[in-house]
Amino acid sequence: MDYFERKLDDKRRLTIPTELRNEFSSGVVITRGFGNYLHLYSINVWNEQMEPALTGQILDERIADLNVKFRSGKTHAELDDKQGRVTIEQHLLDWAKISKDITAVRAGAYWRLTATD
């Protein structure tokens, strides 16, 4: 599965499709994206790929900018056991201009979350 659409519930929870829940079973990280959208990572992808990518020379401005981009407003959450839902913080929804309808598209090892047109 590389694409899904969902509606947030009244508590800002996104239901992850059953086929993908194992991918996120250890937890999720949600960050701002490069544009006005969000990135959804499994905790494993965050720890194994993003953390090393955000490490570099202390005075490397490009690395510093990436750290600011992806750590500003970053949240970590667990899926609820019953329905595979994750809560998205309001400040992230505001950043991505998402009100209710979300489109999720796989972008390699992570997911891009946008407002559904």
Cβ neighbors of 32 (< 8 A, separation 6 or more) are 38, 39, 69, 70, 72, 73, 92, 95, 96
The tens-digit pLDDT sequence of the chain (117 residues) is: 899 999 999 999 999 999 999 999 999 999 999 999 999 999 999 999 999 999 988 899 999 999 999 999 999 999 998 899 999 999 999 999 999 999 999 999 999 999 998
When divided into structural domains, the chain yields a total of: 1
Q: Which among 38, 23, 39 is positioned nearest to 79, based on CA atoms?
A: 23
pLDDT at 102: 98
pTM for this predicted structure: 0.92
Separation of first and last alpha carbons in the chain: 20
pLDDT at 30: 98
Domain of 47, in residue numbers: 3-115
pLDDT at 82: 87
pLDDT at 32: 95
* CATH number reported for the structural domain that contains residue 110 in this entry: 3.40.1550.20
pLDDT at 1: 87
Q: Which among 28, 52, 50 is positioned nearest to 40, based on CA atoms?
A: 28
